[in-house]
Amino acid sequence: MTAAEPTLGLRERKRLATRRAILLASIEVVRDRGFEAATVDEISRVADVSPRTFFNYFASKDEAILGTGPMLPDEAGLQEFVDARGSLFADLFEVLKPGVEKSVGDHDLVLLRRTVMKSEPTVAARRMATLHKFEFDVIALVARRLAAETGQDVDAPAVRDRARFVGLVAVAAMRHAWLCWMDAGEPDAAELLERLRWSLSQLEQLGAASVAR
Amino acid sequence: MTAAEPTLGLRERKRLATRRAILLASIEVVRDRGFEAATVDEISRVADVSPRTFFNYFASKDEAILGTGPMLPDEAGLQEFVDARGSLFADLFEVLKPGVEKSVGDHDLVLLRRTVMKSEPTVAARRMATLHKFEFDVIALVARRLAAETGQDVDAPAVRDRARFVGLVAVAAMRHAWLCWMDAGEPDAAELLERLRWSLSQLEQLGAASVAR
DNA sequence: TGCAAACTTGCACAGCGTGCAACAATAGGG
DNA sequence: CCCTATTGTTGCACGCTGTGCAAGTTTGCA
C-alpha cells in the first residue's frame, strides 16, 4: 500500500518477524501466567529466541510488554499545527491523530494488550510512565504554537505555564478517550479517533457542563 | 503540635527514624551518584542498615526514591465532598488539599527530591506510575458525587464516563500546579495549595481563555 | 526478671539486564 | 560461485534487585 518499501530485504523482514514474535509472546505469557510470574526466559522460549536476543530487541521486559508511548508526527506536521489558527484543541486533534492511529495499528497486539490491561492493573500503572516523554513533547509543541500566536518567546513564563496546562489537560483527554475505547471493546481505530475528537472538544465546555444526559 | 501521639513508644520512634534515614539516604545517593548508579547496597551503607532491612521498609528501590503518590482523606472527608454542592472543581480542591499538604510535609525531603527531579528525568518519568492509583481513587470519588447529584447509579455509563473525564483532567491540573511550584522553587505548602486552587479553577475557563496576560 | 512480640541481619536463591567474544547468516561485488 | 564485510544470534560471566527463611537481638509488658 504505502509504496515506501519496494521489497524489504530478507534481513529486514526477519528482524520485523522476530520483533513481532517477541511482542506477541510477551503478552501471551503475561496473559497466561500473570505479570509477576512472566519471566524473560519463558517469553524467549515461546518466541523461540535466546534470552539474550530478547534484550537485543527490547531494553527491558517492561518495554516488550507495555510497548512504547504514542508519538508526534515529524517536523512538517508539527509546523502545520504551530501555524494553524483554528480552535486549539481541534488543531491538537489533527496533530495527535497520526500517532494514535499508528499506535493501534497492529490488531492482534491491541486485542491481546486489552485483555491483559483488564486483568493486570500493575500493567496499566506501569504503562503510565511511557506517557511521560509524550507529554513533554506535547507541552513543548503547544508552547511553540502559543509563542507564535502571541509573539512571545517560547520560554516566556506565561507561555510555559499555559502550554504546560494545555498540554497536560490534552493528554488527560487523550487518556480518557483511550480508556473509554478500551472499555467499550471497540476494535477499530476509527472509533478511537472519534472518541479522541469528542474528549478534546469537551475540554472547551468544562465550565458549563454537568453530567451527561 | 498535633496532640494525637501522647508519647510514641521507643519502638515506633526507632521505626520512623530508620524509615526517614533510608528515605534521605536514597535521595542523597541518587543526587551524588545518579539514578542508574545508585545501588541498594550503597543506600543501605549510608543509612546504616543492612540491605535486607532496606526491603523491610520499602518494597523496591523505586519506592524509596520516588515516594508514594498523594492520598485521599478518610471516608468522612470523602462523604463531605460527595454531599457538597459547590462548584465541582472548587469542592475537589478541598478534598485534595489534605493529601497534598501531607505529601510535602517533610521539608528536607521535598528540597532533596526537587534537585533530583531536575537533574534526573528518568525519576520524574517513573514517578508518574505512582499517580495511577491516586487517579483511580479520584475517578471513583467523582463518580460517587455525580451519582449523588443526578440520582443515577455510580456504575451508569454516563456517570462512569463523565467521572473519568473529570478525574483525569483534575489530576492533570494538580500535576500542573505541582510542576509550576517545583519550577518556581517555592518551598512552602501554602504556595502549592494556592497554585492548585488556581489550576483547578482554570479548568472551568478552558473554552474562553487564551494565553495568559 | 522473664516471656512474647517485633525488628534486624545474613544467607541462599531466582530473576533482570549488560558486556564480551565466538559463531552464523546475509549482502554485495568480483 | 566465492569471498568478505556487515549484521544478527547465542552462550557465558557478572552485578544488581527483591524474597523467603531462620537465627539472633531489642523492645513491650506483666
For residue range A66-88, list pLDDT tens digits in order: 998 899 999 999 999 999 999 99
Side chain identity, residue A13: R
Separation between Cα atoms, residue B204 and residue A65, nearest integer Å: 37
Q: Rounded to whole angstroms, what are the CA distances from A177 to A22, A89, A192, A195?
A: 28, 14, 7, 5
User: What is the average per-residue pLDDT within A45-55?
Assistant: 98
The reported pLDDT for the residue numbered A210 is: 52
Q: With bands split at pLDDT 50, 70 and 90, how would you rate the model's confidence at A14? A: very high
Q: Taken in order B89, B91, B95, B97, is the CA torsion positive or negative?
A: positive
Query: 3-state secondary structure string, A141-189?
Result: HHHHHHHHHHCCCCCCHHHHHHHHHHHHHHHHHHHHHHHHHHHHCCCCH
pLDDT tens-digit map of A125-147: 999 999 999 999 999 999 999 99
Strand C: which of residues 39-78 in chain B lie with Cβ below 7 A? 49-53, 56-57
Q: How far apart are CA B130 and CA B127, in angstroms?
A: 5
* A125/B126 Cβ within 8 A: no
Return d(Cα B97, Cα B91) in angstroms, integer: 10
Give me the residue from B124, B146, B172 closest to A168, CB to CB. B172
pTM, two decimals, is 0.91
3-state secondary structure of A204: coil
Range of weakest confidence among A27-36, A70-79, B4-13? B4-13
Nearest CA in chain B to A161: B180
Q: CB–CB of B132 and A124 under 8 A?
A: yes
Is a pLDDT exceeding 80 seen at residue B4? Answer: no
- pLDDT score, position A187: 77
- pLDDT at position B209 is 56
| Mean pLDDT to the nearest integer, B203-212 | 70
Coil, helix or strand at residue B31:
helix
Identify the weakest region by mean pLDDT among A19-23, A56-60, B175-179, B208-212: B208-212
Query: Which strand C nucleotides have any atom less than 7 A from protein CB atoms?
Result: 6-11, 14-20, 26-28
Cβ–Cβ below 8 Å for A168 and B175: yes
Q: pLDDT band for A43, please (50, 70, 90 cuts).
A: very high
Chain A residues with CB within 8 Å of chain B CB:
124-126, 128-129, 131-133, 146, 149-150, 152, 158-162, 164-165, 168-169, 171-173, 175-176, 179-180, 183, 199, 202-208, 210-213
Listed residue (B16, B18, B40, B20) closest to B29, CA to CA: B40
| pLDDT at residue B213, rounded to an integer | 42
Report the gap between the CA of B197 and the closest CA in chain A (Å).
Answer: 13
Share of chain A above pLDDT 90, in %: 77
Q: Is the CB of A59 under 7 A from strand C?
A: yes
Range B47-59 average pLDDT? 98
Cβ atoms B64, B26 nearer than 8 A: yes
